[in-house]
């Protein structure tokens, strides 16, 4: 029987974050794609195979799950360098977008060709995965997770690497043995209270009623956790994220300073980096754009705070709200200032921004690992126990 490799993938609206195998591999890929041709010029003095793989992902993808099949794409950083790059739009459903599947399958193909878990024959790797992933609460409540899971399970999906360092000409056939689609709010809760072995590390939170506000690129989910479960009736999803504001900042910088930023990822870097935050280079001169970023992000923070206030009013016995997701890292200072000035709720952020950004992928890994552990036949467990004695 072909070995099934664990994958835990968060296809975020800003970037894909993935954990694979026994955590020996992780991938971070900006969620940007661009339709392309089979041949692309390789610019620079380095040979193709000396270039960074993640900076030069160029693939053809075949999957019956795609509405537009058998097309060629630049993916991630390479896509940001084109004039026809595509990022997910406000109001779109993650589960229904080809882009979500393209990002997911590309990441699995990159993992498959880099691991010894699968054999390659004549340039083709057959890869089997047990996948843990997630969707916004709103989409799960609407039942869209069922169709999403079915699309993945019902087909063999092929990714062919074209002009990509080290992997040019290689093909990966991806088959899913199992797919678990988790509500993002619940996944965040699991990550808060449990370690990678599903052992409780935060006992204080177990029996509390808490809120988790997950601010993403295109949506905001507020999960209400009581009795260790998401309260489906109380959980709410909103079609508001940071992407529209990032586009607005990008446009104002272009209009005011004549500087064209490649993608929203560049805007995020400008407003979150430790050094030279809110500065760009204009004609070779370091220029402050805080006036642009400040008023746009403050307006978004006010809307996000209004959501918190409304949900808390309907769940008055909540003890704390945790802000998670990439959007929370962007808006943290604004939300803290508003809260200090206004209601003074008990709110918490993750000072390690990386922890907040990777929270979903880490949670999916814990959940899918636990699923595999519990579904392993008892006979196999007993054999392993006997051998170890």
For residues 96, 325, 82 and 151, what is the CA-based torsion angle, rounded to 10 degrees? -20
pLDDT at 386 over 60: no
255 within some domain: yes
Would 141 be classed as within a structural domain? Answer: yes
Question: Which neighbouring-strand residues pair with 215?
Answer: 220
Alpha carbon separation from 246 to 33, 99, 297 (Å, rounded): 18, 19, 9
Position 43 in a domain: yes
Q: Which residue has the tokens 């693939």?
A: 59
DSSP assignment, residue 13? S
User: pLDDT tens digits, residue range 202-247?
Assistant: 877 888 899 999 888 888 889 898 877 778 788 788 888 898 999 9
145 and 64, same structural domain? yes
Q: What is the pLDDT of residue 240?
A: 86
Residue the block writes with tokens 């039942």:
143
- Residue 160 CA to residue 143 CA, distance in Å, equals 32
- 351 lies in the same domain as 208: yes
Beta bridge partner(s), residue 342: none
Q: Are residues 68 and 23 in the same domain?
A: yes
Closest CA to 104 of 58, 61, 143: 61
Within a domain: 196: yes
Q: Residue 237 belongs to what H/E stretch?
A: strand 236-238
Is 384 a domain residue? no
- Residue 222 and residue 135 share a domain: no
What tokens does 198 get? 């599903």
* C-alpha span between 322 and 328 (Å, rounded): 10
The answer as to whether 388 is a domain residue is no
Domain count, the chain: 3
Same domain, 261 and 235: no
Take residue 364 and report the two structure tokens written for it: 């999916």
Q: Is 248 in the same domain as 264?
A: yes
Q: Does residue 13 share a domain with residue 115? A: yes
Return the pLDDT at 354.
Answer: 78
> Per-residue pLDDT for 149 more than 70?
yes
Joined together, the tokens standing for residue 248 give 């607005």
**Higher-confidence residue: 299 or 201?**
299
Range of the domain at 227: 187-241+294-359
Does residue 24 lie within any of the structural domains? Answer: yes
Q: What are 5's two structure tokens? A: 């490799």
* Whether 137 and 115 share a structural domain: yes
Beta strands in 257-383 (DSSP E): 279-282, 285-288, 320-324, 347-348
**Domain check: are 146 and 63 in the same one?**
yes
pLDDT tens by residue, 153-200: 999 999 999 999 999 999 999 999 999 999 887 777 887 888 877 788
Domain containing residue 161: CATH number: 3.30.420.40
Q: Give the residue among 15, 38, 35, 36 at the shortest CA–CA distance from 27.
A: 15
Are 262 and 317 members of one domain?
Answer: no
Q: Is residue 127 located within the same domain as residue 86?
A: yes
Question: How far from chain centre, in Å, is Cα 249?
Answer: 22
Hey, what are 119's tokens? Answer: 């054999």
Does some domain include residue 381?
no
Q: Assess whether 220 and 247 both reside in one domain.
A: no
* Strands 157-161 and 220-226, sheet pairing: unpaired
């Amino acid at each position: 029987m072909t070995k099934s490799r664990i994958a835990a993938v968060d296809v975020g609206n800003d970037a894909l974050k993935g954990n694979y195998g026994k955590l020996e591999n992780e991938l971070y890929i900006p969620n940007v794609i661009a339709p392309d041709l089979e041949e692309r010029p390789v610019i620079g003095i380095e040979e193709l195979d000396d270039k960074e793989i993640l900076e030069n992902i160029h693939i053809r993808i075949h999957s019956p799950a795609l509405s537009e099949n058998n097309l060629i794409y630049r993916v991630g950083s390479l896509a940001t360098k084109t004039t026809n790059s595509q990022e997910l739009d406000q109001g779109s459903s993650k589960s229904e977008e080809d882009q979500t599947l393209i990002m997911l399958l590309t990441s699995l193909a990159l993992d498959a060709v880099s691991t010894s878990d699968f054999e390659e024959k004549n340039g083709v790797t057959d890869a089997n995965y047990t996948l843990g992933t997630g969707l916004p609460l709103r989409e799960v409540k609407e039942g869209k997770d069922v169709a999403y899971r079915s699309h993945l399970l019902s087909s063999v999906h092929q990714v062919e690497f074209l002009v990509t360092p080290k992997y040019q000409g290689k093909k990966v056939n991806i088959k899913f043995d199992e797919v678990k689609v988790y509500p993002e709010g619940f996944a965040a809760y699991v990550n808060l209270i449990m370690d990678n072995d599903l052992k409780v590390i935060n006992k204080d939170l177990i029996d509390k009623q808490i809120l988790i506000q997950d601010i993403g690129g295109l949506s905001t989910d507020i999960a209400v956790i009581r009795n260790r479960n998401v309260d489906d009736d109380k959980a709410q999803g909103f079609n508001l994220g940071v992407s529209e504001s990032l586009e607005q900042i990008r446009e104002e910088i272009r209009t005011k300073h004549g500087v064209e930023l490649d993608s929203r990822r560049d805007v995020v870097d400008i407003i979150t980096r430790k050094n030279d935050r809110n500065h760009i280079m204009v004609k070779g001169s370091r220029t402050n754009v805080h006036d642009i970023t400040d008023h746009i992000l403050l307006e978004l923070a006010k809307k996000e705070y209004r959501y918190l206030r409304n949900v808390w009013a309907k769940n008055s016995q909540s003890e704390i709200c945790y802000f998670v997701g990439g959007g929370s890292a962007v808006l943290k200072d604004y939300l803290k200032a508003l809260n200090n000035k206004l209601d003074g709720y008990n709110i918490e952020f993750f000072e390690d921004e990386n922890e907040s950004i990777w929270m979903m992928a880490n949670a999916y890994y814990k959940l899918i690992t636990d699923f595999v552990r519990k579904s392993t036949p008892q006979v196999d467990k007993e054999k392993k126990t006997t051998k170890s004695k």
